Amino acid sequence: MQAPQKNQRRQLGILSGLLAVVAFSGCKPRSYNSGVYEAPGNADRPERLGLPATMPWSELKDLKAAERSVPWTDTYWPLFQKGMAVRWAVPEGGATALPKNPETPWRQVSQMLEAWNQGDKARLNLLSPAEKYELIKLGDASVNASLLAELEANEKQFLSAPGLKESRDRLEAIAKQQQQMKLQIDQLSREINALVSKVRDDNASGLKLKGFLKDPALRNRVNREEVLQQISVLQNAVVNNIAGIKAKQTALDNLETQAKDFNKKKSEAKEVYDKELKTWQKSGLAVAGKMSDSLNMISTSWENYLNYSSSYDEPWEWMGHCHGWAVAALNEATPKHGVLVQRAGKEIFFTEGDIRGLLTKVYSDQSPPAKFASLRCDSDKLVKDRLGRVADGKLCLGENKKSCTQTDKGEIVYIATGQSQRGLSVIGSKVNDDNPRVAVWTGGGTEDSVQVAIYPDLDTFSKNLSKIRARDYSGSQRGILNISLSCRDTNPMTLHMALKGFIADKKIGFVMDRTRTAQVWNQPVHKFEIATLPIKKNDKDGTLSVPGEPVAVAEVDDLFRDFRAKGTAFLVQMKVKLHYGVENGPRLTYRAPDEATDVDTVVYTLELDAKQNLIGGEWGLIPTTENAKDSSLAAGRSGAGPDFLWLIDQKEKPIKGKLDHALIDKIHRCSLEANNIQKYPWSVGGVTLDYTICKVD
């Protein structure tokens, strides 16, 4: 790889000074420093995780597999289900004294307090983790009367707001009619099935009687006239029943047509109701926030739910607390049984699922400092180059362009190291372009792309700087620039060193976001398996290297040569299985098989300098006869990898905040006790659960 020429270095130096000058309020500030070479950038260098800057291959060549204990599993407590406030233990459709999903904060809080004040074990058992926590934290104290009054006033608004009440009544009336139709449809279906069975049986009986008349051995032993009469009766019954089936089928078809019409009516009514509901939710958001000081866990659950429900149009079902679960599952011991928590002369049973939820929540809301490597990808429209790599960016020219995605016509561009921030990007048609263009962000962008004005070179940009400051972009080309650097910056070198440092050496594991999309799925990595792969050399025989033996770059026809880290002298490639915990639950109790795990396979090439020290890496494989299918150009050579990596030191605990970590920790420690285990008769389903008593007065 040639070094940037002197003129290019001068241009980039001048432009760096201009970056701070050109800033527009309509654009979101971004800063990238991944670089066009695949050495770790500022955001994803190993040191950010507390690892050394590099490792010699001699310390890594024998690394094949390692693992730590399996992290405990938990749900991600999704926000659309009100997070920790969901009454998950209430059985679906079950006849219990407690509704599963309270529609308002008032209903949740008043039902919770009523069960507590009455000491109703059956209802207390089925409360959400947030409710159980709030009650134990309250003890013999009471909730502020003015807060309860505001919650009740909000409830009255929910019930009486004209538009909301009318649309809710309409929706409930349609649901009632649908239920009646369903009962009629079920009844008709049963009647038709009974008639079909009768026709089948009568036909079989008629055929049997006809057989008697044809069988020489039997026909002289039966009364022919009586048999013929029986056959006639059966045939008439079949005809009548077939007519009955047709009539009932017609009625059933009509009902099902009406049911489809009612589905449409219900959909339209639901749309009206949801619109009215959002108005109430926006007002309810402020009221839910007022619970923050005294009922914080319930408050945040409702605030998140009401906020996204009333104002967020993008899919948000994936949002939840996986960031708290993933690190808690690595750093905190697995709860072993339930806990009967006693305070102020009262008691509540916390299941294993509840306790896992409390740990997940406190690590989510009051997370200790984390070590974090890589930027978060905010795009669902990744652009890839001809090699299948996530591109630096893509430029789509046109005054009225609305997008610049993989399927749009445009040009893959390369962004100079550190030159994409605060309102402009320096782009080239090739790596280390000697005459880069300047893309000025003109606003109106999304997380996937920004609107830009393109200037052909630095001189033209400099001459127009005064006009640009006045938002006059005359003399430029207009278009859309997709910037994908934050979706490309997790370097395989950093991942490989994390496997060595955190799993093989320290047995602690780490967290990865396994999806390179706007959605974030944090998973605790606890195990890996490495298979080194051969590399095809460029000699006349296409010799395959010994797997795991570094191969000199001069001996390889490397399609990724323009993207190797500076100073790359050797290459090693491998296939790695990453084992990680996945969501499961919540449950009353967990067995070993319930601690769910999964595995992803990633492929990458590590880059070594002349002394065979790690200096970078590239996702994907160099073609070989063994991995030709995996690495064919048609399929896209570049493999997928984690979006970002992070961990929290095990000695670090949740920071001080509105949640009482000491109380949660006490309940957790009680769940680890091995002595004085008792059997608790669960109120639903007739099961018994192991538990210990935990006094927190």
Q: Please classify residue 443 by burial: count the beta carbons closer than 10 Å to its beta carbon, then call 0-12 exposed, 13-18 middle and 19+ buried.
A: middle
Instruction: Indicate the helix (H) or strand (E) that contains 298.
Output: helix 296-311
Distance, in Å, from the CA atom of 631 to the CA atom of 653, rounded to the nearest integer, reads 44
Reduced DSSP (H G I as helix, E B as strand, rest coil) percent helix, strand, coil of the chain, to 5: 40, 20, 40
Give the pLDDT confidence score for residue 623 in this predicted structure: 61
Q: Name the residue among 514, 534, 533 with its Cα closest to residue 524.
A: 514
One-letter identity of residue 582? V
Sequence-ordered list of residues with C-beta below 8 angstroms from that of 56, at least 6 positions apart, any chain:
611, 612, 613, 614
Radius of gyration, alpha carbons of the chain: 34
Q: Is the dihedral of CA 631, 633, 635, 638 positive or negative?
A: positive
Report the alpha-carbon angle 9-12-15, nearest 5: 150
Report the distance separating Cα 441 and Cα 423, nearest Å: 5
Which one, of 608, 669, 654, 688, lies nearest residue 56 by Cα? 608
What are the residue ranges spanned by the domains of the chain?
Answer: 6-30+392-483, 163-289
Domain 163-289 has CATH 3.30.420: no
> What is the pLDDT at residue 625?
43
Structure confidence at residue 30 (pLDDT): 39
Q: How far apart are CA 493 and CA 606, in angstroms?
A: 6
**pLDDT at site 639:** 54
Residue 504 DSSP symbol: I
The predicted structure's pLDDT at residue 417: 62
What would the two tokens of residue 674 be?
């091995």
Cis peptide bond upstream of 129, omega within 30? no
pLDDT of residue 26: 33
Mean of all residue pLDDT scores within the chain: 87
Could you tell me the CA-to-CA distances from 415 to 391, 406, 484, 564, 657 in Å, in that order? 9, 18, 10, 16, 42
User: pLDDT > 70: what percent of the chain?
Assistant: 90
Instruction: Write the secondary structure of 74-96 as one string of H (helix), E (strand) and C (coil).
Output: CCCCCHHHCHHHCCCCCCCCCCC
CA distance 249 to 262: 20
* Residue ranges in the chain whose pLDDT is less than 50: 1-36, 625-638
Please enumerate in sequence order all residues whose Cβ is within 8 A of that of 116, keeping only pairs 6 or more positions apart, or say none: 124, 135, 138, 346
| Cross-strand partners of 573 | 533, 605
